[in-house]
C-alpha cells in the first residue's frame, strides 16, 4: 500500500496560504532586524527565500558607502567569460567596479575566488601580499561531494558565497517571487508522462540506481549524454510536454537544490519529482504541494503508481500548480547577479573575519 504524507492529503490552497503567511512574517521580522542593526552578518539570508529581499524586481535599500568598491574576479568561473552588468540594475546600492583584470589586485577591496578554478593547485590562488582590509570571498555552487581540496582554503577567506542559506552571501540556483496580484497560470499542453535529463551518468550513483527501479513500473524518457538529444534552444519546449520531470540531484547535501528543479522542471511547467535533501529542506524554498519527493513513498513502485494515478486524474494533477497563482519561480542571470550580491554584501557588512575551517562548515 502506498504511503502518503499529510502534505499530500491536505488541500493545496491551505498549504499555499500557510507558505505565503510564513514568508511575509519572516520578511517583516528580517526588515525590522536590518533596520535596527544595519549589519546583517551571516544570518541575513537563512530565514527566508531571498526573493523577498534582494532578488531582481524586489529591491531593498541598503547603506551607501563613500567611494566605489573594487571587486576582482580572480578567475572567470569555469573559464567562462560573461557580461558584467551594473549592480544598480539589481539592487538599490552604490555600484561596484567589478573586473577580471589582475592588475587591480593590490587595489581591490575584495577578491572573488571560484573554488573549482583553484582547488587543484595551491599556486592557482592569489600569491601576492594582500592589504589588511582586503576581503577574500570563497565562491562555490558545487556540492561538497564535488568540491575537492577544501583544506586549501582554511584561514584564507573572509566571506563565503554559495547556495547554502547560511553562507555570508546567499546565491541560490533559484527562488520564488511573490506576485503583486494573482495570475492565471496556464499549464502547458501535456502529451507525455515522465522525463529526465542527465549529463553525468554513473551507474553506481543513488539517482541512477533509483531510476533503474522506477523504470520497471513506468516509462521514463531520458535526455542528455548517451541518450536522446536535448538542444539548449529547445530544452524547455521539449520538457514542457511532460507531466513530470525527475529533478534528481547528483549528490545529497543541505540546500543543494539546483537548476534541475528551478529550470528544467519549474521553468518548463512540469511537476518536479525530486531526489535530493529531505522534504523539509525543499519546503524552505517551495510550498509543500509544488513538488513530489521520492521519500514520500516506501518504494519506487509506489511512486510510479502515484504518478500513474495523477496522470488519470486531472483535478489532482492541477493541484500541483495552484501555488503559481501567487508565486513565480525565477533564476539568476548567471553570473552577473552573483557578483552583484557580493557588491551588496560588502556594503552592508563591516566586520572582518577569518574562516579557519571551511571544510568543516561546508561538509
Cell numbers describing residue 20? 505565503
- Adjacency order of strands within the sheet including 70-73: 97-99, 70-73, 110-114, 135-140, 159-162, 169-170
DSSP class per residue in 35-100? HHHS--GGGSSTTS-GGGTTSTT--------SS--EEEESS-GGG-------GGGTSSS---EEE-
Pairing of strands 292-293, 221-223: unpaired
Cell numbers describing residue 92? 538599490
C-alpha 323/C-alpha 93 separation (Å) is 32
C-alpha 5/C-alpha 319 separation (Å) is 16
Q: How many Cα atoms are found within 13 Å in the side-chain-facing hemisphere of 350?
A: 7
- Cβ atoms of 64 and 94 closer than 8 Å: yes
Q: What torsion, rounded to 10 degrees, do the Cα atoms 269, 271, 272, 278 define? A: 130
Long-range contacts of 300-303 (CB under 8 A, 24+ apart): 300/210, 300/213, 300/214, 300/216, 300/217, 301/213, 301/216, 301/217, 302/2, 302/3, 303/214, 303/273
Catalytic pick from 89, 142, 249, 259?
142
Whether residue 142 lies in the annotated active site: yes
Cell numbers describing residue 322? 495552484
For the chain, what's the residue count?
Answer: 363
DSSP class per residue in 154-184? TTT-SEEEESSTTSSEE--S-EEEEPSS---
Q: What is the DSSP letter of 297?
A: S
Cis peptide before 285 (omega within 30 of 0): no
C-alpha 138/C-alpha 250 separation (Å) is 22
- The residues carrying an active-site annotation are 142
Amino acid at each position: 500500500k502506498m504511503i502518503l504524507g499529510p502534505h499530500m492529503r491536505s488541500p493545496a490552497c491551505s498549504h499555499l496560504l500557510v507558505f505565503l503567511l510564513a514568508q511575509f512574517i519572516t520578511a517583516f521580522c528580517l526588515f525590522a532586524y536590518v533596520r535596527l542593526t544595519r549589519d546583517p552578518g551571516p544570518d541575513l539570508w537563512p530565514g527566508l527565500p531571498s526573493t523577498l529581499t534582494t532578488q531582481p524586481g524586489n529591491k531593498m535599500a541598503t547603506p551607501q558607502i563613500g567611494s566605489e568598491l573594487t571587486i576582482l574576479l580572480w578567475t572567470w568561473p569555469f573559464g567562462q567569460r560573461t557580461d558584467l552588468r551594473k549592480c544598480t540594475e539589481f539592487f538599490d546600492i552604490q555600484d561596484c567596479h567589478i573586473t577580471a583584470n589582475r592588475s587591480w589586485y593590490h587595489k581591490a577591496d575584495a577578491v572573488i575566488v571560484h573554488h573549482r578554478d583553484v582547488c587543484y593547485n595551491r599556486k592557482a590562488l592569489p600569491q601576492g601580499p594582500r592589504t589588511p582590509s582586503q576581503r577574500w570571498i570563497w565562491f562555490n555552487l558545487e556540492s561538497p561531494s564535488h568540491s575537492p581540496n577544501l583544506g586549501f582554503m582554511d584561514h584564507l577567506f573572509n566571506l563565503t558565497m554559495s547556495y547554502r542559506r547560511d553562507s555570508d552571501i546567499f546565491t541560490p540556483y533559484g527562488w520564488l517571487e511573490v506576485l503583486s496580484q494573482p495570475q492565471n497560470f496556464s499549464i502547458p499542453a501535456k502529451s507525455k508522462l515522465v522525463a529526465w535529463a542527465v549529463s553525468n551518468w554513473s551507474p553506481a550513483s543513488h539517482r541512477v540506481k533509483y531510476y533503474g527501479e522506477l523504470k520497471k513500473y513506468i516509462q521514463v524518457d531520458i535526455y542528455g549524454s548517451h541518450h536522446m538529444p536535448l538542444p539548449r534552444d529547445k530544452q524547455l519546449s521539449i520538457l514542457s510536454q511532460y507531466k513530470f520531470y525527475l529533478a534528481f540531484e547528483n549528490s545529497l547535501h543541505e540546500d543543494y537544490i539546483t537548476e534541475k528543479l528551478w529550470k528544467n522542471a519549474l521553468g518548463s511547467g512540469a511537476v518536479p519529482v525530486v531526489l535530493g535533501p529531505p522534504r523539509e529542506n525543499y519546503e524552505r524554498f517551495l510550498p509543500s504541494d509544488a513538488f513530489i519527493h521520492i521519500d514520500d513513498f516506501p518504494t519506487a513502485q509506489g511512486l510510479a503508481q502515484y504518478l500513474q494515478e495523477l496522470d488519470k486524474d486531472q483535478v489532482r494533477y492541477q493541484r500541483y500548480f495552484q501555488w503559481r497563482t501567487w508565486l513565480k519561480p525565477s533564476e539568476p542571470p548567471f553570473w552577473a547577479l552573483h557578483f552583484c550580491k557580493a557588491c551588496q554584501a560588502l556594503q552592508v557588512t563591516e566586520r572582518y573575519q577569518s574562516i579557519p575551517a571551511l571544510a568543516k562548515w561546508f561538509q
